Structure 1
């Protein structure tokens, strides 16, 4: 029997396992596919909330903790696994911002660096992007390659003597005995554990509803394009009018994303591909000579006000949740998983856990 059984092997589940192992716990990690193949693979990997001044303070506070944790985590993963998540922090540009005054006020309140550049300086730094209004620059931020982060975390889990990795295994039900989580039922086995953690992304609400727990987590579809450009053509992450462009070291440029309520359907559509292509060329006309080499979709775990649920499930002992991060799952993962494990083990929490607590629970299990 494992100390903790985690349902969901995305970045959030893997990082939760990481933090649990640091406390001496043994972990079983279950995923219905190979780990880190859902939204963790599909996401762009910007290590900052998009337009961070539009979020409430709980998201800002948790992202601050997560961003502080990222560099040592990535360095350790690279050294231990040989897989480089390619975390680079040249800064992020926000252009065509409708209310720069609001952004500056947020930055002053939270002690953030936010610089407004003139057009000459902006064009020198980001020549691929056409002339843009109010270029705002946030230094010290950047992005990583989410598939490589997932591979590194999976490799760590596979090599850890304290982690039992169960892939291609579907959890049918969380087992409850006398209002206590005791494990899960899969297609062909019953797995026992002292504690259970739900890190199932967009599927978390559906899984918990089966045992009478009402959690407001729901799928939000996002589609993206991948352009093949020469290395170095774009150096910075650029956000404009709700879209973003993310450079990769090998020259690829990701462009996205959409926000669609389409249930669990993650089929990319031709109409969305055309729309994204038009928007990409509107922002960066030079991409017209760069082929689109991939078009895909993923499902974000939406939640009210984009504040994730991180903590215990009331009235069900030994059942925990780390889900509902919306589009910030990779951004928040180090901080969110740290916060959850601190609550599970009775440690002093890195941030106030109150805003992230699960509160809506039905009586019948």
Structure 2
């Protein structure tokens, strides 16, 4: 079987890797360089920002992926020499309004989330600002250095003889024979395959619209900023009022993010920069004197309730989806791509696939 994967972010590359490991011929293409869109632009926290606020469908994928990430990071480092830096720090949530709901969720799901004394938080994170009164902490939460994860995935795919990677080649539509999808059209000619997989992130809805299908996935802009501090400046991830600070191993600190419904505009704005700096300085006052190393924007694939679309499209034989992960693409990628591969290869799925099925969810 020859499979064509459209979209070269974390979801597309991991999907390609899973299929190639099963012996399939895989052709992956992206409209730009691989791994340069939403997967690159996010923070890389290996947890939904507020996991108790999501549906059981998102929770099931998140739990599987969180348990899988350390082994994935080590395997990619060993195979490619590029360390994705799966960095286990734990995460503090400060002054939550729904603390009781969070703790009830943790008890139900058996996750290590607990209330901690604010004094102990200041001891663990000396740089934390004043004014916070309550905290929850979850140990074991990691962040992954997403640009390095994407680089290692690309390197791993390049080593596989049954994988073809094509960058800067956009899919503009689909090739149909009768009611079956047999490929995609591109500006430089058609590409054909036995199965076509749309893993094109925020562009997935736009591509499926060429078939007259209404996939409720749209771009949601997010802006972030990056600081460089001492390596021991921030030993834990911290989050308050919807904004977070993430430490990398080398002392880089990411602060994000905005959530803007402005179409495909990725232009960073001064308004967002000021807002992110204010959040950064409220969390970590010492950042007031630090230089912003970088400020950027990316486009998340927004979807209803953040539940991705994983599986075949019933009205278009040969067409499959693995898209619509909204803010949790990196979090959910290992489980989503394993589930996708299980379905396409007709294996026993790792979790119940019903909540993610495109059937009944697209127009």
Aligned to 2:197: 197
User: Do the aligned partners of 1:212 and 1:361 also contact (CA within 8 Å) in 2?
Assistant: no
Aligned to 1:292: 292
Task: Report the secondary structure of 2:204's partner residue.
Answer: helix
Q: Distance in 2 between matches of 1:250 and 1:322?
A: 33
Aligned to 1:355: 355
Aligned to 2:67: 68
Aligned to 1:9: 8
Report how far residue 289 of structure 1 moved. Answer: 2.0
Bigger Cα displacement from structure 2, 322-331 vs 279-288: 279-288
Q: Distance in 2 between matches of 1:230 and 1:38?
A: 28
Task: Report the secondary structure of 2:281's partner residue.
Answer: helix
User: Do the aligned partners of 1:214 and 1:360 also contact (CA within 8 Å) in 2?
Assistant: no
Q: Determine if the alignment matches structure 1 residue 38 to structure 2 residue 37.
A: yes
User: Do the aligned partners of 1:224 and 1:257 also contact (CA within 8 Å) in 2?
Assistant: yes
User: Do the aligned partners of 2:216 and 2:362 also contact (CA within 8 Å) in 1?
Assistant: no
Report how far residue 361 of structure 1 moved. Answer: 4.6
Question: Which consecutive segments of 4 or more residues in structure 1 shift more than 6 A?
Answer: none
Bigger Cα displacement from structure 2, 333-342 vs 351-360: 351-360
Task: Report the secondary structure of 1:210's partner residue.
Answer: helix
Aligned to 1:58: 57
Aligned to 1:323: 323
Q: Distance in 2 between matches of 1:350 and 1:83?
A: 28
Aligned to 2:157: 157
User: Do the aligned partners of 2:4 and 2:197 also contact (CA within 8 Å) in 1?
Assistant: yes
Task: Report the secondary structure of 1:222's partner residue.
Answer: strand
- Alpha-carbon deviations, 1:252-302, whole Å to 9, x = none? 100000000000001000111011111111111111121101000000000
Report how far residue 90 of structure 1 moved. Answer: 2.2
Q: Distance in 1 between matches of 2:31 and 2:158?
A: 16
User: Do the aligned partners of 1:223 and 1:297 also contact (CA within 8 Å) in 2?
Assistant: yes
User: Do the aligned partners of 2:183 and 2:190 also contact (CA within 8 Å) in 1?
Assistant: yes
Q: Distance in 2 between matches of 1:71 and 1:119?
A: 29
Q: Distance in 2 between matches of 1:208 and 1:26?
A: 23
Bigger Cα displacement from structure 2, 260-269 vs 134-143: 134-143
Q: RMSD over aligned Cα, in angstroms?
A: 1.0
Report 1:241-260 matches (<5 A). 241-260=241-260
Report how far residue 74 of structure 1 moved. Answer: 1.1
User: Do the aligned partners of 2:170 and 2:186 also contact (CA within 8 Å) in 1?
Assistant: yes
Bigger Cα displacement from structure 2, 52-61 vs 66-75: 66-75
Aligned to 1:90: 89
User: Do the aligned partners of 1:100 and 1:134 also contact (CA within 8 Å) in 2?
Assistant: no
Aligned to 2:307: 307
Query: TM-score, structure 2 length as denominator?
Result: 0.98
User: Do the aligned partners of 2:114 and 2:137 also contact (CA within 8 Å) in 1?
Assistant: yes
Aligned to 1:168: 168
Q: Which runs of 5+ in 2 are unaligned?
A: none
User: Do the aligned partners of 2:18 and 2:338 also contact (CA within 8 Å) in 1?
Assistant: yes
Q: Distance in 2 between matches of 1:217 and 1:177?
A: 26
Q: Which runs of 5+ in 1 are unaligned?
A: none
Aligned to 2:98: 99
User: Do the aligned partners of 2:268 and 2:297 also contact (CA within 8 Å) in 1?
Assistant: yes
Aligned to 2:240: 240
Q: Distance in 2 between matches of 1:167 and 1:87?
A: 26
Q: How many residues are matched?
A: 361
User: Do the aligned partners of 2:44 and 2:331 also contact (CA within 8 Å) in 1?
Assistant: yes
User: Do the aligned partners of 2:87 and 2:249 also contact (CA within 8 Å) in 1?
Assistant: no
User: Do the aligned partners of 2:87 and 2:248 also contact (CA within 8 Å) in 1?
Assistant: no
Report how far residue 339 of structure 1 moved. Answer: 0.6
Report how far residue 360 of structure 1 moved. Answer: 4.1
- Alpha-carbon deviations, 1:36-61, whole Å to 9, x = none? 00011101100000010111111111
Aligned to 1:344: 344
